[in-house]
Amino acid sequence: MNLTPSQFLWIATLFEGGLALVAFVLGALLSVDPVAALRPELTAAFWGVLGSLPLYALFAQSDRLAVGREIRKLLIEKLGGLLAACSVSQLLYIACWAGITEEILFRGLLQPWLEQSWGWLGGLVFSNLIFALVHWITPAYALLAGFSGLYLGLMLDVGPERNLLTPILVHAIYDFLAFIAVAEAWRQQQAA
């Protein structure tokens, strides 16, 4: 299926927006406010920017391992053309929207809710098992997503107090940089 950048943006907007809707509906049913820990604080923003660097560094070095090459090849094959057709501002929009909506669901709602029954570690682990399952494209991709989710869950508690802004920024910045890298790799393949 050949999508235009506009169609791709609409699909991404609706899908990711649906995740936020699920978070708020489930939050109302479970009596958990998915944005309770979201505060615009400079310290959280600092940790969010800084925290994105190790995650992206791992992505950038992923081609050194067979599983990393497999995932990168899959991303280039499935998303490369779509991402390459988007402008930088469109890629930034998709990355920010994914970071906001996915973090509201997984770190804003599921992690705190699961902590109520399973404690801090249980909330961290079980919310990211769900995160991995939702990202199941291949077993290797799900495993990578699960570990990335654990990192994002830990970033929720970096700093003086829990703040959802930190994993939102880590997620959005990482996605933005990864989108640019995948689009550029696709362009290079097309030129070769």
For the CA atoms of the chain, what is the radius of gyration? 17
pTM of the model: 0.95
pLDDT in tens, 156-188: 999 889 999 999 999 999 999 999 999 999 999
Q: List the domain range (segments joined by +) for residue 103.
A: 5-34+42-191
pLDDT in tens, 32-56: 999 999 999 999 999 999 999 999 9
Helix (H, G, I), strand (E, B) or coil at 38: coil
C-alpha span between 23 and 164 (Å, rounded): 14
Expressed in angstroms, the distance from the first to the final Cα of the chain is 23
| Number of domains present in the structure of the chain | 1
Q: How confident is the model at residue 67 (pLDDT cuts 50, 70, 90)?
A: confident
Range 73-102 average pLDDT = 95
